[in-house]
Structure 1
Amino acid sequence: MDVKNNILETIGNTPLVRLNKITKDLPCDVYAKVEYFNPGNSIKDRMAVKMLEVAEKDGKLKPGGTIIECTSGNTGMGLAMAAVVKGYKCIFTTTDKQSQSKTDILRALGAEVIICPTNVEPEDPHSYYSVAARLEKEIPNSFLMNQYDNLANRQAHYESTGPEIWNQTDGKITHLVVTAGTGGTVTGTAMYLKEKNPDIQIWAIDVYGSLLTKYFRTGEVDLNEVHPYVSEGFGEDFVPQNYDMSVIDHFEQVTDKDGAVMTRKLAREEALFCGYSAGSCIQGLLQLKSKLKKGDLVVCILHDHGSRYVAKVYNDQWMAERGYLEVKTFKDIVSARGLQRTITISSDQTVAEAVNMMKQFDIEHIPVTENDELIGAISENGLFQKVFDNPDIRNEKVKNILERSFPIVSYDTTLEKLRTLINKENGAVLAKDETGTFQIVTKYDIIQTLA
């Protein structure tokens, strides 16, 4: 039978997928090494298991022991899976900038997760590095995997990722593009590929706020380069020992915004639902398009799955709050249309008067007021059915045929939210502008915005 003995045996042999739309303006073929096909949905499964196997072989981790690691989530996922299969406990330290979904997943696999502050020096006793090191000293039969300085990290990619890419491209690869964090993926894969063909270009993608790019260019560890950034899974505020800069040809930095926008573009244009670093990887490649020529074969490593970022990069509100998304709002719709006096009708006026107002002002929806308070609404569709059923209703007062009030929202409510509020049963939404005056947005306004 074609079966696996446990989930760890499914790690690796991930597909290489051609990019067709995002890279259409490049002169060469670009392929994505889609690592979310690993069982833990990230490339980190490879090195997590390798580090564990080496620790077992060297006698640093004994049966029933405790695995300790500082992780942004993906390495922890790989280690947690391995711990379940092999019978170990897990304690992970992570930073408060990581998505909640990542820590929830780790806890689902039985791991203990300790959240530490992001904006502290690595040597600070509260940093996730320092807390992990302290726990290793305090807990008997425990081992800190230390993916940053554990060379089994890059060994995993030398033994698996590199050979897979070489074989999948029939040795025709000319460029490898990969976001750089611990250094394991970029260095280990590069070491193998450079042995096969030293002319292969290795491009590492970094984020502004990380010191890796300047270190690569100058050999200087400049902490003045370090500042907070929101990109996840790559960039560093120190230089891990897994790096061998001699096998890397270029470092390229990408902004938080450009990486986030490109991540969403990957999903919408290539159907690749990936994590934050995948968008940064592709954005870095596009920034370097002038260095590419016809006949080149580029491989981009896309590290993990988008399911861990649904509350962040795939969330419109999160993106809009950071200025990463050009989100249209109620205010934008009103501004584009021009400020207009919202036509209302008193509850004591007649249906005939309401019909005349609709004709006069060419509108379909009218809020109904009583003592200057909104108490309901009437609509052309609702009136049509009532008048058709009973022509004498024209002399009735509006308050006798009230429909449900239009929803009242904030002036900065997004277009996506408005589209969920305006439907067959409800044709308009109200909001107060900066002067405190009610403005109305209708289904027609939404259609005009989308046109």
Structure 2
Amino acid sequence: MWYNNILETIGNTPLVKLNKLTKDIEATVLAKIETTNPGNSIKDRMAIKMIADAEKSGKLKPGGTIIEGTSGNTGMGLAIAAVIKGYKCIFTTTDKQSKEKVDALKAFGAEVIVCPTDVEPEDPRSYYSVSTRLEKETPNSWKPNQYDNLSNSAAHYEQTGPEIWEQTEGKITHLVVGVGTGGTISGAGKYLKEKNPNIKLWGIDTYGSVFKKYKETGIMDEKEIYPYITEGIGEDFLPKNVNFDLIDRFEKVTDKDAALMTREIARKEGIFAGNSAGAAIAGLLQLKEHLKPEDVVVVIFHDHGTRYMGKMYNDDWLRERGFLEDEKLTAKSILSKREPQEMVTIDSEKTVLEAINTMKALYISQIPVTQKGMVVGRVTESDILTALLENPSIKSSKVSTIQTASFPFVDLNTSIDKISGLINKENSAVLVEDSNGKIEIITQYDIIGAISY
């Protein structure tokens, strides 16, 4: 048996029992592994459905351009379909999305425009507004609008819901889904509740999103909105695909818990899933006291871990955000293992001769250069030697005439591996701001001292 094209392979994804992560949960927990779709995410389902419905209605015509605001996964589904069906794609996304997602879209020939995250949806710079403007400016174009296009939830009503019902032999009691556009939980949930009204729909939300409070109070509270790191779930507006009447409850999960649980899924279950899966499992664990031994819980694993290699699966990225603390040495621990010391600097207005005398007196080979108290550059022995050989009278000139770029700045949580990589022939040290706002310098000697401490 073969398929006529890759689009025919969408759906019929496996349901896999979780064991180690859920050992403290009495219920049976099953993960719906949507990464087996051709675009490695559940969004393939609704992408092809939205296109098919738009073709039928005449909104999408042959040779047209698909323009959409997407965090990457919907774009991937649309891009794959566009390749098969002969459409062009232009996607707008936010600067918080992983580079891997953007590069993947470009791999299928799509044009990707990255927009700022920290703006209102109505702001002309937002990825919603930019995509809307582009649709108006581009002839023969169509914007799917996955948030308000009800073909989104219809796809899950027609496909995802029936699959889950059949795979669990109708035994499912809870569906747990990270909610972004709302299509998955609303569509699949509608089908499942028609089969059994007692099935509970739990939506996983994130701090900085409006869903949970709106569900509980009916208030769209703008004070709830602030930037967050978790990808694929939460919103700062109310998509039409989110059916609040169907969803029984929302549970918020922190960025840290979602990120760390994403890694745990791979390490404990051998499933390489994305950030929203981590949020969903973290949320489920927060709600475990509501489950009974006879319950059967299905958790949606939306997308693949390869889209988060530079983020949730990157130790330095986690450390820089304070999410990961382990036994590896960091800039903070290197500073703690050495004797307290004052960093020697020289003002850019001082003379080269004064820099020479300072370095001689203190037996140092490099010195950061400051301007109005801020580090703006550096001077090393080799810089001074090169300058003197070219012009011996430069000793009376200002340090600013020979200074070079500043040493790299690192975060207190930066690992020793990354710091070591930054210290080389061009950079003999790095700078770090301690918890009190004081600038410290870390040299190769400091690293050696910390390792042998």
Residues 63 and 435 of structure 1, relative CA distance in 2, 3 Å threshold: closer
Q: Which residue of 2 aligns with 1:414?
A: 415
Counting aligned pairs with the same residue, the percent is 62
On the 8 A contact 2:430/2:441 being kept in 1, the answer is: no
Q: CA deviation at 1:161?
A: 0.5
Per-residue CA shift, 1:262-312, capped at 9, x if unaligned? Answer: 001111111111111110000000000110111111110010001111011
Per-residue CA shift, 1:100-130, capped at 9, x if unaligned? Answer: 1111111110111111111111111111111
On the 8 A contact 1:125/1:131 being kept in 2, the answer is: yes
Which letter does structure 1 place at the counterpart of 2:142?
F
Residue 147 in 1 paired to residue 146 in 2? yes
> Aligned partners of 2:91, 2:430: CA distance in 1, in Å?
46
Give matches, 1:50-449, under 5 Å: 50-327=49-326, 328-329=328-329, 414=415, 438-439=445-446
On the 8 A contact 1:259/1:283 being kept in 2, the answer is: yes
> Aligned partners of 2:300, 2:413: CA distance in 1, in Å?
38
Per-residue CA shift, 1:322-372, capped at 9, x if unaligned? Answer: 111114315677689x669xxxxxxxxxxxxxxxxxxxxxxxxxxxxxxx8
* Structure 1 residue matching 2:245: 3-state secondary structure: helix
* Structure 2 residue matching 1:245: 3-state secondary structure: coil
Residues 31 and 442 of structure 1, relative CA distance in 2, 3 Å threshold: farther
Residues 53 and 436 of structure 1, relative CA distance in 2, 3 Å threshold: closer
**Which blocks of at least 5 consecutive residues in structure 1 are unaligned?**
341-371, 375-409, 422-429, 447-451
> Aligned partners of 1:10, 1:227: CA distance in 2, in Å?
38
**Which blocks of at least 5 consecutive residues in structure 2 are unaligned?**
340-362, 366-409, 423-428, 433-439
Per-residue CA shift, 1:372-414, capped at 9, x if unaligned? Answer: 899xxxxxxxxxxxxxxxxxxxxxxxxxxxxxxxxxxx99762
* Structure 2 residue matching 1:239: 3-state secondary structure: coil
On the 8 A contact 1:106/1:113 being kept in 2, the answer is: yes
> Aligned partners of 2:332, 2:125: CA distance in 1, in Å?
44
Which letter does structure 2 place at the counterpart of 1:257?
K
> Aligned partners of 1:216, 1:312: CA distance in 2, in Å?
30
Per-residue CA shift, 1:131-175, capped at 9, x if unaligned? Answer: 111111111211110000000000000000000111100000011
> Aligned partners of 1:270, 1:38: CA distance in 2, in Å?
20
Per-residue CA shift, 1:61-90, capped at 9, x if unaligned? Answer: 110011111100000000000000000111
Q: Which residue of 2 aligns with 1:26?
A: 25
On the 8 A contact 1:334/1:441 being kept in 2, the answer is: no
Residues 265 and 418 of structure 1, relative CA distance in 2, 3 Å threshold: farther
On the 8 A contact 1:40/1:74 being kept in 2, the answer is: yes
* Structure 1 residue matching 2:157: 3-state secondary structure: helix
Residues 431 and 53 of structure 1, relative CA distance in 2, 3 Å threshold: closer
Per-residue CA shift, 1:160-200, capped at 9, x if unaligned? Answer: 00001111000000110000010101100100000000000
* Structure 2 residue matching 1:251: 3-state secondary structure: strand
Residue 43 in 1 paired to residue 34 in 2? no
Residues 139 and 325 of structure 1, relative CA distance in 2, 3 Å threshold: same
Which letter does structure 2 place at the counterpart of 1:55?
A
On the 8 A contact 1:431/1:440 being kept in 2, the answer is: no
* Structure 2 residue matching 1:68: 3-state secondary structure: strand
On the 8 A contact 2:92/2:114 being kept in 1, the answer is: yes
On the 8 A contact 1:432/1:439 being kept in 2, the answer is: no
Residues 25 and 415 of structure 1, relative CA distance in 2, 3 Å threshold: farther
Q: Which residue of 1 aligns with 2:7?
A: 8
On the 8 A contact 2:419/2:430 being kept in 1, the answer is: no
The size of the alignment, in residue pairs, is: 373
Residues 135 and 330 of structure 1, relative CA distance in 2, 3 Å threshold: closer
> Aligned partners of 1:189, 1:260: CA distance in 2, in Å?
26
> Aligned partners of 1:432, 1:77: CA distance in 2, in Å?
40
> Aligned partners of 1:306, 1:264: CA distance in 2, in Å?
9
Residues 293 and 432 of structure 1, relative CA distance in 2, 3 Å threshold: same
Residues 445 and 147 of structure 1, relative CA distance in 2, 3 Å threshold: same
> Aligned partners of 1:420, 1:436: CA distance in 2, in Å?
13
Name the TM-score, length of structure 1 as normaliser: 0.77
CA RMSD of aligned residues (A): 2.8
Residues 333 and 162 of structure 1, relative CA distance in 2, 3 Å threshold: same
* Structure 2 residue matching 1:247: 3-state secondary structure: coil
Q: CA deviation at 1:223?
A: 1.1
> Aligned partners of 2:442, 2:234: CA distance in 1, in Å?
46
Which letter does structure 2 place at the counterpart of 1:176?
L
* Structure 2 residue matching 1:246: 3-state secondary structure: coil
Per-residue CA shift, 1:19-71, capped at 9, x if unaligned? Answer: 11111011111110011110000000000000000000111111001111110
Residues 330 and 145 of structure 1, relative CA distance in 2, 3 Å threshold: closer
> Aligned partners of 1:287, 1:211: CA distance in 2, in Å?
19
Q: Rg larger in 1 or in 2?
A: 1
Q: Which residue of 1 aligns with 2:16?
A: 17
Name the TM-score, length of structure 2 as normaliser: 0.77
On the 8 A contact 1:177/1:285 being kept in 2, the answer is: yes
